[in-house]
């Protein structure tokens, strides 16, 4: 099995691959994102004292912000690169669902949300002081079958105008029919990237690429004692699930791309890490957009890694813009 040294760098930039070249191509790409969406709410304030009622800080909230999270953040990242993106999901018939719809569409995302009157839109409320998250409060439930059936019909209709599909699984129930969704895309020879969740990876069989982190992978294949054992476990899983590749995100260790007969190590490019929230969304979004415009996989992974290094230097769910991603490398 061929293996690239951890410290080697892939030549990620050829003569014609400049900023303008890829921006022009990205603008032509049409992606479809489906999965669990959520509204990320941030309350910002100062902590000056401890509560007399319990040993907890008192936060005086002086500002707030709302951002798209989960699959909605993936779609927002794609739109930030200039590509066209349709977003399919299920939300509640509530204020949070309307805010989320307005929010993603303000970023250029075309939303196709099925409303479930019995479902509260998933909201993650974070209280932040001095760029440190003090607490997160989650409001969530699983959608009903009728809403999911309607979403699946929308998905089938959108596939014929799609270059690449991203399925963002946060375990909230929106991807209950993911087996059918992967098969439909595969039958049309449309690449499918999946950000997985949980221990049942059989449901992802036939996807093009999975993008787990180390903790998520360990739930499925067990812990590993060394790199050789990791490679064996991942390659067995990749072959069993009929994947083209598996991209393992490894935090401060960067990423590792596993393909047939090859393992490629990409060191991290993060300089300062303020917040890893949504970094996985950025990785799969950038990787998917670049694959949609036919960039070779090893090269696309390098740019996705570069994007991750940029986005973790920002607070909360954030995006990477073309000028940040390509600027210095294109000079």
Query: Which sequence positions are flagged as catalytic?
Result: 281
Indicate left, alpha or beta for 305 from its phi (over 0: left) and psi (-120 to 50: alpha): alpha
β strands within the chain, DSSP E? 2-3, 30-35, 37-50, 57-70, 84-92, 110-116, 123-129, 132-139, 164-168, 192-195, 209-210, 245-249, 255-259, 262-266
Distance of CA 13 to the CA centre of its chain: 24
Distance of CA 315 to the CA centre of its chain: 16
Q: Would you list the DSSP string of 205-239?
A: TT-SEE--BHHHHHHHH---SSHHHHHHHHHHHHH
Indicate left, alpha or beta for 172 from its phi (over 0: left) and psi (-120 to 50: alpha): alpha
């Amino acid at each position: 099995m061929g293996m690239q040294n951890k410290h080697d760098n892939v030549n990620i930039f050829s003569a014609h691959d400049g900023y303008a070249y890829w921006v022009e191509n990205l603008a032509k790409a049409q992606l479809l994102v489906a999965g669990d969406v959520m509204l990320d709410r941030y309350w910002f304030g100062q902590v000056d004292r401890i509560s007399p009622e319990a040993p907890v800080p008192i936060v005086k909230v002086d500002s707030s912000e709302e951002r798209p999270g989960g699959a909605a953040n993936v779609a927002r990242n794609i739109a930030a690169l200039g590509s066209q993106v349709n977003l399919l999901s299920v939300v509640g018939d509530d204020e949070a669902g309307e805010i989320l719809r307005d929010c993603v569409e303000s970023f250029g995302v075309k939303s196709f949300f099925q409303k479930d009157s019995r479902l509260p839109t998933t909201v993650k409320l974070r209280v932040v002081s001095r760029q440190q998250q003090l607490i997160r409060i989650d409001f969530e439930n699983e959608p009903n079958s009728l809403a999911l059936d309607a979403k699946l019909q929308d998905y089938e209709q959108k596939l014929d105008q799609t270059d690449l599909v991203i399925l963002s699984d946060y375990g909230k129930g929106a991807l209950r029919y993911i087996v059918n969704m992967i098969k439909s895309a595969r039958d049309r020879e449309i690449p499918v990237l999946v950000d997985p969740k949980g221990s049942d990876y059989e449901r992802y069989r036939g996807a093009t690429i999975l993008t787990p982190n180390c903790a998520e992978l360990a739930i499925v294949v067990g812990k590993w004692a060394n790199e050789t054992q990791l490679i064996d476990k991942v390659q067995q899983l990749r072959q069993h699930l009929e994947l083209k590749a598996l991209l393992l995100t490894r935090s401060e260790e960067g990423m590792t791309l596993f393909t047939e007969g090859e393992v490629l190590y990409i060191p991290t490019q993060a300089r300062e890490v303020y917040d890893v929230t949504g970094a996985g969304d950025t990785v799969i979004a950038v990787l998917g957009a670049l694959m949609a415009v036919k960039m070779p996989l090893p090269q696309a992974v390098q740019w996705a890694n570069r994007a991750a290094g940029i986005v973790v230097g920002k607070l909360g769910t954030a995006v990477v813009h073309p000028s940040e991603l390509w600027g210095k490398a294109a000079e």
